[in-house]
Amino acid sequence: MRLPRMVRVKQEFPPKGLPDVASAVEEALAAAHLDTTVGRGQRIAITAGSRGIANIALTMRAIVDAVKAAGGEPFIVPAMGSHGGATAEGQRELVAGYGITEESMGVPILSSMDTVLLAHTDDGIPCYMDRYAAEADGVILCNRVKPHTDFKGPIESGLMKMLVIGLGKHVQAETIHSYGARGLREDMPRVARRLLATGKVIGGLAIVEDAYDQTAHVEWLSPSGMEEREQELLEMAAAEMARLPLDDIDLLIVDQMGKNISGTGMDTNVIGRLQIQGEADPERPKIRYILACSLTEASHGNALGIGLADLTTQRLVDRIDYKVMNENVITTSFIARGSVPIILPNDRKAIETALKCLWGVQPENARVVRIADTAHLDHIAVSEEALDSLPPYAKPVGTPEEFRFDECGNLLPL
């Protein structure tokens, strides 16, 4: 088959990364006035999530040091719902992969799937909290604020979701997800309000990243103003998101997917697919076929989101830990995202298969986009056919080239 030739393209998004992240974190923590809210000797739980947040080890250590300086006794709690196979050790391993260990942080990491029932919403939804966090004298949340991959609403991914889904562990995640996308959009904020009303939460450090996944904003949110301010930070994060340069694509090649890249392996806000019953897909982009080539090591076998693709490879499937993935998929209740698509022996065969199945389009004339993953969209490749449709911020930086494969038929790195 004659494959389309590809041209390297650089997308020039406005860089918003902070020049000195450490100083910005220290300034945000100074605004928290922990010396007035943390009593001497009080045990303070600090949340650590499962996402690949820029500078997260530096940020977590700064929170730990700030609590110590205020006279408190901090410890870290993995807060990630059903991730890590819904096991205490699996969640400890996930945070260790981000450099968050007892040695690097200088404090204990207390990981457990046990929870305490703290309250109910007015209509009876139980509100759980991690046992270690519930037994502490206070809780500090730390998370990135960004558009969610399952739903749209005033509150999406951020501190309030961390409080509910993260600290609520497997049982709370199952409870919220049992109502589908509505549970995330409507019930999750209500459970968060009820948990905030218990007085357990001291506050939280909210992080916003730019289009290059660099720390662009760090801010301390108090419990009383958390919901309102998080809505504003969500708008900021949405405006900063990187996107694909085309709205009409025949084939999107994703070199790697993974839980450290997105909760859905591939960010649904980028690829324009949700795979949730009753929820409409985003209006753009429209992609006929998506090929997911490999799974990141940091995913620990969790390929949730593989169902968003139309094709995949044997090497990706060989990395799947079905026990870990299925636990996460079933907890979300969005089971289509765990459905494995057609499996091809290598990248070359998968690309040829996708192009062969384009109705009325010659393979060499297909509109193809290739990306490293959905979190890194600054350096990509686009087929010759699509060059004339690129927006001004996407500029070709090379000449047309043939696809390059290794001896196994897999793509060489971009």
Residues 328-342 have a mean pLDDT of 94
Residues 328-338 have a mean pLDDT of 92
CA dihedral (168, 174, 180, 184) in degrees, to 10, reads: 0
Residue 389 CA to residue 169 CA, distance in Å, equals: 45
Quick one: pLDDT band at residue 151, thresholds 50, 70, 90? confident
For residue 285, the model assigns a pLDDT of 96
Q: Is 31 or 86 the better-scoring residue by pLDDT?
A: 31
For residue 225, the model assigns a pLDDT of 96
Residues 282-300 have a mean pLDDT of 95
Reply yes or no on whether the pLDDT at 279 is more than 90. Answer: no
Contact indicator for 299, 322 with CB cutoff of 8 Å:
no
Residues 154-179 have a mean pLDDT of 94
For residue 81, the model assigns a pLDDT of 84
For residue 238, the model assigns a pLDDT of 94
For residue 39, the model assigns a pLDDT of 94
Domain spans in the chain, listed from the N-terminal domain onward: 6-14+242-396, 31-240
- The pLDDT tens digits for 236-250 are 999 999 999 999 999
Residues 305-326 have a mean pLDDT of 97
For residue 50, the model assigns a pLDDT of 76
CA dihedral (372, 375, 379, 385) in degrees, to 10, reads: 70
For residue 215, the model assigns a pLDDT of 97
Q: Which of 162-171, 198-207, 272-281 has the lowest mean pLDDT?
A: 272-281
Percent of the chain at pLDDT above 70?
100
Residues 81-102 have a mean pLDDT of 90
Quick one: pLDDT band at residue 230, thresholds 50, 70, 90? very high
**CA distances for 178 relative to 235, 308, 338, angstroms:** 27, 21, 17
Strand-pair category, 342-344 with 311-313: parallel
- State the SS3 of the chain: CCCCCEEEEEECCCCCCCCCHHHHHHHHHHCCCHHHHCCCCCEEEEEECCCCCCCHHHHHHHHHHHHHHCCCEEEEEECCCCCHHHCHHHHHHHHHCCCCCHHHHCCCECCCCCEEEEEECCCCCEEEEEHHHHHCCEEEEEEECECCCCCCCCCCECHHHHHHHHCCHHHHHHHHHCCHHHHHHHHHHHHHHHHHHCCCEEEEEEEEECCCCCEEEEEEECCCCHHHHHHHHHHHHHHHCCCCCCCEEEEEEEEEECCCCCCCCCCHHHHCCCCCCCCCCCCCCEEEEEEEEEECHHHCCCCCCHHHCCEEEHHHHCCCCHHHHHHHHHHHCCHHHHCCCEEECCHHHHHHHHHHCCCCCCHHHCCEEEECECCECCEEEEEHHHHHHCCCCEEECCCCECCCECCCCCECCC
Reply yes or no on whether the pLDDT at 349 is more than 80. Answer: yes
* Residue carrying the six token digits 């604020």: 145
For residue 277, the model assigns a pLDDT of 86
Residues 98-117 have a mean pLDDT of 96
Quick one: pLDDT band at residue 3, thresholds 50, 70, 90? very high
For residue 102, the model assigns a pLDDT of 97
- The pLDDT tens digits for 15-58 are 899 999 999 999 999 999 999 999 999 999 999 997 789 999 99
For residue 104, the model assigns a pLDDT of 97
CATH class (in words) of the domain with range 31-240: alpha beta
